Structure 1
Amino acid sequence: MRDAFQWLRSLLFVGQIYVMMPIVGLVFAPWALFSKHGARVCCKTYSRWVFWSARWMVGIRCEVRGTPPQGEALIAAKHQSFLDIMMIFTALPTAKFIMKKEILRTPVIGQYAKLLDCVPVDRGKRGAAIDKMVRDVNAGRQEAGQLVIYSQGTRVAPGMKADYKVGTGILYEQLGQTCVPVATNVGVLWPRKGIMRRPGVAVVEFLEPMPPGLSRVEFMKELERRVETRSDALMREAGFEADAVS
């Protein structure tokens, strides 16, 4: 009975956040169309609405740990659901995401992604996608900011394994910037699929920065070790045993 009630609360929560998305997008559109700052304020306002309503509707409290960088940096993050995108974006002053090209066709989200100079890539053509990603990133460096890449290339459910893609290592070499790894447990409470949202503390944690100059192999190995180890610990904290799913 408790699960049925939580599922109903989750249904109402999911429904209202999708209703609010175009409403907030339209309210801010006159400002956002002419100002990246306006577009950021819009997206952060919507995200904060989601955090606020998640707390009282489904019992999810969102918590950012560590120190989000304020200057130019590469952010290499674990990705489990839509929630970690909003939490990372809200925690950073001028974030832009590397994302799959198909998102540009998504109503509201796609339009705001363009306004914020997010970098679309075609995941079906890996080599060409990486080359284009580097060119697009370099072309957009006139505005200092934090470039966010999901190193596994997609959402990965708690307990599941996925390789870390070479694109993160290439960007690290090409940009010559400090890389800040990010761990999370949000998928335990807000899964990548389905309606159910489970109560608890959803955490995004900014880890110790990795300085530029490491070899690609060394960087990728250390990045994966840090992010996976800390994400497993955060998931256990949320009541999920990371080794339970192979």
Structure 2
Amino acid sequence: MKYAIQWLRSLLFSIQMYIMMPLMALVYLPFAFFTYKAVFAYIKAYANYCRWTLRWMVGLKTEVRGEIPTDECLIASKHQSFLDVILIVSTATNPRFIIKRELHRMPIFHFFGKRMGNVPVKRGDRGRAIARMMADVKSGKIAKGQLVIYPQGTRIAPGVKAPYKIGTGLLYEQTGQDCVPAATNVGVFWPKRGVYRKPGVAVLEYLPPIKAGKPRDEFMAELEQVIEENSDRLMAEAGFVPER
């Protein structure tokens, strides 16, 4: 019975979360045509709304630790569910994401994503897309901020091992920016798939930056080590025990 009640609470949370996304977008839409500040105001308001409703509807609190990046940089984050996206959006100054081009076919994602400076990519086009984004920042078309990338390329469930893709190292070289790793345990509470959301405290932690200019292989090794070690620590803190 307890599980069924929590599942129902999780379902209601998910339904209202997706309903509120376009409704809140309509409020900010007239202003977003004229200033990108309204775009970031919308995504932060929506992310904070999700965190608020998640707490009282599901009993899942959220916590962000570490020094929140405010300067231009890369954020390379462990990706376990949509919740780590919400936590980054709610805290980083002007975050933008490297995302699949297919997502930009949705009207809301297309308009707000383009205005915030997201980088929609298809296979083989990442280099040109990043170059265009950096040119738009330099020209003032989009705001300076943090480019978010997920080094493993997709959501990875707790306890599952997956390689870190070299694209993050190439991006680190191409931008010449510091990289802020981010660890998380959100997948313990909000899984990769399914409706059920577990009560507790989900954490995203910004880690000390890796300075620009390191050799690519050295950077990738350090990035994987600090993200995996600290994500394992946060998951253990949440009571997760990996299968053997």
Q: TM-score range by the shorter chain?
A: over 0.9
Question: For the Cα contact (< 8 Å) 1:152–1:164, is it kept in 2?
Answer: yes
Q: CA–CA distance in 2 between the matches of 1:176 and 1:135?
A: 12
Q: Is residue 2:183 matched to residue 1:198? A: no
Shift of 1:33: 2.0
Instruction: Give the Å deviation of 1:107.
Output: 4.4
Q: Within 5 Å, give how 1:231-242 maps onto structure 2.
A: 231-241=231-241
Match of 2:102 in 1: 102
**Partner SS for 2:80:** coil
Match of 2:118?
118
Q: Does residue 21 of structure 2 align to residue 25 of structure 1? A: no
Aligned residue in 1 for 2:49 = 49
Partners of 1:193 and 1:89 in 2: how far apart? 21
> 1:109, 1:10 → 2: CA distance?
24
Matched, 1:138 2:134: yes
Give the deviation of 1:134 after TM superposition: 3.3
Cα pair 1:120 1:133 within 8 Å, conserved: yes
CA distance in 2, matches of 1:96, 1:37: 13
In the alignment, the residues of structure 1 paired with residue 157 and residue 109 of structure 2 have an alpha-carbon distance, to the nearest angstrom, of 22
Identity over the aligned pairs, expressed in percent?
Answer: 50
1:173-188 matches, within 5 Å, as 173-188=173-188
Contact 1:121 1:132 (8 Å CA) reproduced: no
1:131 CA drift (Å): 2.2
SS of residue in 2 equivalent to 1:108: helix
The one-letter amino acid paired with 2:182 is V
CA distance in 2 between counterparts of 1:191 and 1:33 reads 35
CA RMSD across the alignment: 1.3
- For 1:68, what is the secondary structure of its paired residue? coil
2:129 and 2:218 map into 1 onto residues whose CA distance is: 22
Counterparts of 2:125 and 2:158, CA distance in 1: 27
Instruction: Tell me the secondary structure at the aligned position of residue 137 of structure 2.
Output: coil
**Residue equivalent to 2:70:** 70
Contact kept? 1:39, 1:112, Cα under 8 Å: yes
Question: Residues 196-218 of structure 1, C-alpha deviation per residue, up to 9 Å, x if partnerless?
Answer: 00001111100011111111000
Query: 1:139: Cα distance to partner?
Result: 2.0
Partner Cα separation in structure 1 for residue 190 and residue 128 of structure 2? 32
Large movers: runs of 4+ above 3 Å: none
TM-score for both structures, normalised by structure 1 = 0.93
Structure 2 distance, partners of 1:158, 1:227, is 13
Measured in 2, the distance between the counterparts of 1:234 and 1:100 equals 28
Aligned equivalents of 2:116 and 2:60: distance in 1?
28
**In the TM superposition, what whole-angstrom CA distance separates every residue of 1:7-36 from its partner, at most 9, and x where no partner exists?**
011011111111111110111110112211
- What is the DSSP-based 3-state SS (H/G/I as helix, E as strand, rest coil) of the residue aligned with 2:76? strand
Q: What code does the residue aligned with 2:243 have?
A: A
1:7 and 1:83 map into 2 onto residues whose CA distance is 17
The TM-score normalised by the length of structure 2 is: 0.94
Structure-2 separation of matches of 1:233 and 1:136: 38
- Once the two structures are TM-superposed, the CA of residue 157 in structure 1 deviates from its matched residue by 1.1
Separation in structure 2 between the aligned mates of residue 154 and residue 148 of structure 1, nearest angstrom? 13
